[in-house]
Amino acid sequence: MFVFRHGGRRAITATLAVRPSPPLAHRCYASRIDLPFTPPPVPLIKQCPTPTCQCRESPPGLDIEREQNINGSMPTYAEQILISTGRSDWPSKIDEDESEDGALVRQLRKYLLRDGKYSDPYHNVMLTNSSFPPTESPVHSTKHPSEPPKDSRSVPVSKPGEDPAISGNQNTPHTPPASAFLLPSFQYVPTIPTDSPAVEDFIKAFILPAKLHQTHDPLSREQKNILLRQPDRQRQFLGARKIDEILILICGHGNRDSRCGQMGPILHAEFEEKLQRQNIALLHDPPVAEAEIVDTAVEGYIPTARVGLISHIGGHKWAGNVIVYIPPSFASNPLAGKGIWYGRVGPEHVEGIVGKTVLEGKVIKELFRGGIDGEREVIRL
């Protein structure tokens, strides 16, 4: 640094030249501060292990971003509603889907997104389609030709011009109910009518928070009750149950971005193969309405898993994007009850994810985008 006052550069230089250096005994040094070590919130390994067996090849020429730090790139959410569509691709915007799944998305958006009746910035809800098959409603199931026709009186029919919700016919034969997984609640709701009053009941029963953020303290009791979950309403949704299987969700939304559209199906096949190599049984049918209590500690227990393609979750430039949900019943797994997001996943990483994350409960740092636990706290490294 140069100082040009009171004689210019030469004067200050001369002053500095004649100033004696302080004796060593009088010199001051910055003290060392020992900061306490903070362990990571989850068990970690830095890199994914090298595969020990043959794996599929990634599609050539994909423009995958490799430089940015993706830790913390997961969108913040408190609940993911994973709608079972039985299909592996959807319109670019899933609310534009003309099926009953699109109808459910539109109703949910109306209530939950900005300016909606139940919009809460501290309880964000993520709406996602999945390739998992929905539960077939008895009213809309395909009957065998030898079976007698159903009595038409058992299905209420709306009068011309009458609102089905008012007449009591909440789901006409043209609009069967939807099914959805709720995460990290680890619940499955097999029958969700898509009319407005029923969707509002679904939100009150399962989606709203059990406890409000402290910023809502100034609200009146009546206002707080509107934003709080009402679990007693869950009895209206027959067959709703906890799930005990591992869920592996892979973005395969090709109509939104071709990178995930190409990578998704390859990763889907790779995960199914590597899970089976570890004697993990794959589930392809919808969850049954009544399920036995699972004890993962019992000798001979065989874990089960579902692998599905899902719609846009952000970060297509980091394809493949994968979410691994480990159910709370896996009590010995450090990641039990948590969801772990990975990016830049290739077929060569699948064996490591199954071995380290699914079985051992360890997060692979180089692939980690973020995570969520059962208390809706975000996991960051």
pLDDT at 140 over 50: no
Q: Are 256 and 311 in contact (CB under 8 A)?
A: yes
Residue 32 lies in a domain: no
> At which residue do the structure tokens 């994909």 appear?
62
CA gap 297, 112 in Å, rounded: 39
Q: Could you give the 3-state DSSP secondary structure of residue 181?
A: strand
Instruction: Indicate whether 251 pLDDT > 90.
Output: yes
Residue 207: pLDDT band (50, 70, 90) is very high
**In angstroms, rounded to a whole number, what is the distance separating the alpha carbons of residues 102 and 281?**
31
Nearest to 182 by CA among 330, 82, 258: 82
Q: Is residue 55 in some structural domain? A: yes
Tell me, yes or no, whether 33 lies in a domain.
no
- Comparing 25 with 330, which gets the higher pLDDT? 330
157: how many CB neighbours lie within 10 A of its CB?
A: 13
Query: What pLDDT, on the 0 to 100 scale, is given for residue 152?
Result: 35
Q: What is the pLDDT of residue 261?
A: 96
For residue 39, what pLDDT is reported? Answer: 87
Distances (CA, A) of 369 to 151, 351, 358: 53, 19, 16
For residue 298, the model assigns a pLDDT of 72
d(CA 90, CA 130): 9
How many domains are there within the chain?
1
CA distance 224 to 218: 9
In terms of pLDDT, which residue wins out, 37 or 22? 37
Q: Is 73 helix (H, G, I), strand (E, B) or coil?
A: coil
The amino acid present at 261, given as its one-letter code, is G
Task: For residues 30-43, give the mean pLDDT.
Answer: 76
Task: Give just the sign of the alpha carbon dihedral 308, 314, 315, 316.
Answer: positive
Give strand pairing partners of 341.
Answer: 323, 370
> Helix (H, G, I), strand (E, B), or coil: what is residue 363?
strand
Instruction: Give domain status of residue 289, yes or no.
Output: yes
State residue 142's pLDDT score.
39
Query: What pLDDT was estimated at residue 147?
Result: 43
Extract the runs of DSSP E, i.e. beta strands, from 213-354: 241-242, 246-251, 281-282, 304-310, 322-326, 338-342
* Residue 14 pLDDT > 70: no
What is the C-alpha separation between 27 and 23, in angstroms, rounded?
7
| pLDDT 10s digits, 363-378 | 999 999 999 999 999 9
The reply to whether the predicted model has a pTM over 0.75 is yes
Mean local confidence (pLDDT), 217-245: 94
**What would the pLDDT profile of 62-117 be if each residue is shown by its tens digit?**
999 999 999 999 999 999 999 999 999 999 999 998 887 899 999 999 999 888 99
Q: Is residue 308 part of a domain?
A: yes
pLDDT one-digit tens code per residue, 289-337 = 666 667 766 776 789 999 999 999 999 999 999 999 999 999 999 999 9
Nearest to 270 by CA among 85, 65, 53: 53
Give me the domain span that covers residue 361: 44-135+176-379
Residue with tokens 């049918």: 285
pLDDT tens, 148-172?
444 433 333 344 444 444 334 444 4
